Structure 1
Amino acid sequence: MKILGKVEYVGTAYNGWQKQKNGKTIQNVIESVLSKIFNTEITIYGSGRTDAGVHASGQRFHFEVAKEKIDLGLLKHGINTILPDDIRIISLVKVDSNFDARKSAKKKIYEYAIIFGEAKVFQKPYFCEVKRQISRENFEKTLNLFVGKHNFSSFTSKVDDENNFVRTIYSIEIKNDGNQAIVTLIGDGFMKYMIRYLIGVALAVANGKMTLEEVKKRLEFSSSRQVTSFKAPANGLTLVDVLYNL
């Protein structure tokens, strides 16, 4: 049986999603719990990786087990009983044998949370602090440049890419609430550090360290790749959901 899981986690204490030999990662922890329950080694396959310190309210992963009849409600309860408090399985559903959590994904939704000023202690793990005065208008104008189909080679640390660094961002919306802003990005996929670079560049334009014209050139002249040095912190980023045609 192939099973699709949806999981939420606070990434603060983990070295990201991806399994590491001697590291504390989300994948390591979930695989350890599943292997204990099924008394055999279980490998899970995520919809994508999240960096160290990045959170998720809707990360997806699939795994296979030899059994064909499983009470998924009981399995979810059993997993959550063993998992630490900062990782929680939201749902488990049976999927077709050809399903792949990464390759079958149609859209991904992320949020990036910003506080303009100093964050309160309990906010610090979940918000990027921007203590300098910035132009919020230029911040929004920069983010709007990224909507659409572009070559984002200057906005990722990936060395090479099977899709030639081309991604489509369907929408970027900013919800302002006093000194807080939540940026929601929906796209067909995002490369390593890509969202953190996009936010970092938008903040750089907003505080005068870059211009809109420089950003446009990096999007238009992707053949002369120049990866930006402006990368926003990990803690403001949350993977909200991964969408499929199920």
Structure 2
Amino acid sequence: MHRYFIEMAYNGSRFHGWQIQPNAISVQEVMNDGLNKALRQDINVVGCGRTDTGVHASYFVAHFDCVGVIEDPEQLVFKLNRIVGKDIVVYSILKVDSDAHSRFHASSRTYHYYLQTEKNPFLSEFSYRPLFKVDIELMNNAAKLLFDYTDFTSFSKLHTDTKTNNCKILHAAWEQQAQGAVLVIKADRFLRNMVRAVVGTLLEVGRGKLTLQQFREVIESMDRGKAGTSVPPQALFLVDIEYPQEVFQSKVKRQPPFS
């Protein structure tokens, strides 16, 4: 068997997340089907992580095993892009060591969450406009507190199969944009629903419902019920995954979906 990494992106609006679902269309299902047709083998694609229903990825990595060496990966990329439809794009297919794993060997992931502070019907599909004003500077002060902690149980979806709720936050900051702001958050790993729960709680700080001290207390409570409501998924993008150089060297120049 030979292992390959796929670099790709997708608009998650019409998918029920990455992972295969019993009665709903997923990105993984479409990719499996596309590779099965293109390679005429039974292929199972393993993703670098699981995005939820409606969440997008402007950069995503997956891997698969196949019998025989793929002689022309660029031709396979061309075939796949014709098969998988308009909501998915495949950028590259690269041969890697047989033990390289797109999920377990990833050293960091970066997400963007796009906040719209002015009404704009052309941005609503990929951003979230809260019905209240928020203080971006105050939310940035709260985001800095995330670096003081590693256990983020308060921001995790309940009843998941993870063995630990510890994550190392590597970057977290709001950046102003022309008609809003974007939270750029990077960590070694993320819990299910974590980014949307973090944003929802930061918005409670930004609107004056939580103080910075109370934000700390939410994290320290390790109680999802104390955190804010999860924000909608359409504004969330997985934008980057990094790997040790000896595992995988990307061919794709990563750019945020919006500037």
What's the TM-score bracket when you normalise by the shorter of the two chains?
over 0.9
- The 8 Å contact of residues 108 and 242 in structure 1, kept in 2 or not, is answered as yes
Compute the displacement of 1:80 (Å): 0.5
Compute the displacement of 1:240 (Å): 0.4
Deviates more, 1:174-183 or 1:28-37: 174-183
In structure 2, the residue matched to 1:91 is: 92
* TM-score for the superposition, normalised by structure 2: 0.88
Alignment of 1:179-190 (within 5 A): 179-190=179-190
- The 8 Å contact of residues 148 and 170 in structure 1, kept in 2 or not, is answered as no
Compute the displacement of 1:68 (Å): 2.1
In structure 1, the residue matched to 2:156 is: 156
RMSD: 1.7
- 1:59 alignment partner, SS class: strand
Compute the displacement of 1:174 (Å): 2.1
- The 8 Å contact of residues 111 and 238 in structure 1, kept in 2 or not, is answered as yes
Q: Percent identity?
A: 27
In structure 1, the residue matched to 2:76 is: 75
Task: Provide, for residues 17-68 of structure 1, a one-character-per-residue CA deviation record: whole Å limited to 9, x for no partner.
Answer: 1111221111111111111112222101001000111111111110000012
In structure 1, the residue matched to 2:227 is: 228
Compute the displacement of 1:225 (Å): 6.2
In structure 1, the residue matched to 2:31 is: 30
Task: Provide, for residues 173-220 of structure 1, a one-character-per-residue CA deviation record: whole Å limited to 9, x for no partner.
Answer: 322123311211111011100000011000011112323222201323
Q: Which runs of 5+ in 1 are unaligned?
A: none
Compute the displacement of 1:85 (Å): 0.8
- 1:104 alignment partner, SS class: coil
* TM-score for the superposition, normalised by structure 1: 0.93
In structure 1, the residue matched to 2:42 is: 41
C-alpha separation in 2, matches of 1:210 and 1:11: 31
C-alpha separation in 1, matches of 2:79 and 2:125: 28
In structure 2, the residue matched to 1:242 is: 241
In structure 1, the residue matched to 2:252 is: none
- 2:68 alignment partner, SS class: coil
> In the alignment, residue 82 of structure 2 is paired with which amino acid?
T
> In the alignment, residue 243 of structure 2 is paired with which amino acid?
Y
Count of aligned residue pairs for this structure pair: 244
In structure 1, the residue matched to 2:166 is: 166
Task: Provide, for residues 131-164 of structure 1, a one-character-per-residue CA deviation record: whole Å limited to 9, x for no partner.
Answer: 3122222221121211354200010114256452
In structure 1, the residue matched to 2:213 is: 213
Question: Structure 1 residues 225, 124: closer, same or farther in 2, change over 3 A?
Answer: closer
- The 8 Å contact of residues 118 and 131 in structure 1, kept in 2 or not, is answered as no
C-alpha separation in 1, matches of 2:51 and 2:224: 24
Q: Which runs of 5+ in 2 are unaligned?
A: 249-259
C-alpha separation in 2, matches of 1:204 and 1:227: 11
Higher share of residues assigned strand: 1
